[in-house]
Amino acid sequence: MRIKSQYLFVIGVAGVVVLYFVVRSLFSAGAPNAAEAKTTAAGPPSVQVRIVPQALRAYDVVIRGRTQATRSVVVRSETAGTVAQAPVLQGSYVKQGQVLCRLAVDARQAALDQARAAQKSAKLTQLQNQELARKGFRAPAQVLQSEASLDAANAAVRQGEIALAQVNIKAPFAGVFDHRDAEDGAYLGPGQPCGTVIEIDPLLVVGDVAETEAAKIRVGAKATARLVSGQTLTGRVRYVSRDADPQTRTYHLEVTVPNPKLDTRSGLSAELHVAAGSGPAHLVPLSSLVLDSAGRQGVRYVQGDGRVAFAPVTVAEETPDGIWVTGLTGPVNLIVVGQSYVADGQKVRVAMAR
């Protein structure tokens, strides 16, 4: 059986291809892989390190807060009447006892005058009965009755004086008359508001502390508030709650700061830094932070044997020069270049960072 010429051509081409791969495999079996040879020649990977010393650092707990008036009271009328005067403009500074609203006196002065006249009459009657009792012309019961009448007259006078004083609605403390609710001619019943007085010297800066930070803060600790207006206020912690908010699991904190010029308003947002003691810390570049396989934030450093190690850290404070972290001990050969391309326990070549 004769084989056609086209089949012979195909068989010949296939034979040449098979022969090529056989010869190539024979020659390459004894030669090293190029990539392996390159890796072997390169050796361990190189990293750049910086020696970071341990320092004693004051810790601050940073809280988002706001300014708040120390006291805020809605001043209300104790009696009924028409507002005769509202002499204080809202927004004005007022002293303790200053009149904010004055009601019409109406018949209160006449009632007081009548009570004082009855008091004089009762006083004379009591003196007369005492004199007659000494002479034997009055019984002891009559003397006691006249004394009771005098006590009742004294009480009526006191009641009239209070009723007359109540027409003057006064500031309960020094502060700012922040809002006026009553104008001239308005009628106020008992309990209706004249206006609101707030105390802003001293001023409060308030915020909520996370449950992980609350135990670090003590009453009397120094605190600094940086306001959105650019102002910086310094004061002391006056209160840290003992019971957490059930919704947020945070603790309420109050800081008292002086505000003698009354130029800082209530309700401004603030970044509050509260001193929480001191301890060992390291100042590292922000770029040196990495995550390990478990998702923990930390840094990589080179041990004495030239191998890489990972240490989880906690950021204590961010500054323009870097970040202060805790979790490291003693001087550390911190990897600042190449930390993302090496693994724990890997041998590396070390060069000092510039």
Predicted confidence (pLDDT) per residue in 270-327, tens digit: 999 999 888 899 999 999 999 998 999 999 999 999 999 999 999 888 888 999 999 9
| One domain, residues 260 and 292 | no
pLDDT given for residue 10 in this prediction? 59
Q: Which domain holds residue 12?
A: 5-31
Query: In the chain, how long is the greatest CA-to-CA distance?
Result: 176
| One domain, residues 205 and 245 | yes
291 lies in some domain? yes
pLDDT given for residue 127 in this prediction? 93
185 lies in some domain? no
Is the confidence at residue 32, as pLDDT, over 60? Answer: no
79 lies in some domain? no
E strand map for the chain: 46-52, 55-76, 81-85, 92-94, 99-103, 168-170, 175-180, 187-188, 193-210, 222-227, 232-240, 250-257, 269-284, 290-291, 297-302, 308-312, 314-319, 322-326, 332-337, 349-352
Count of structural domains, the chain: 4
- φ/ψ (deg, to 5) at 269: -70, 145
305 lies in some domain? yes
Q: Which residue reads 């505000």 in tokens?
A: 259
Full-model pTM: 0.68
Q: State the CATH number of the domain containing residue 216.
A: 2.40.30.170
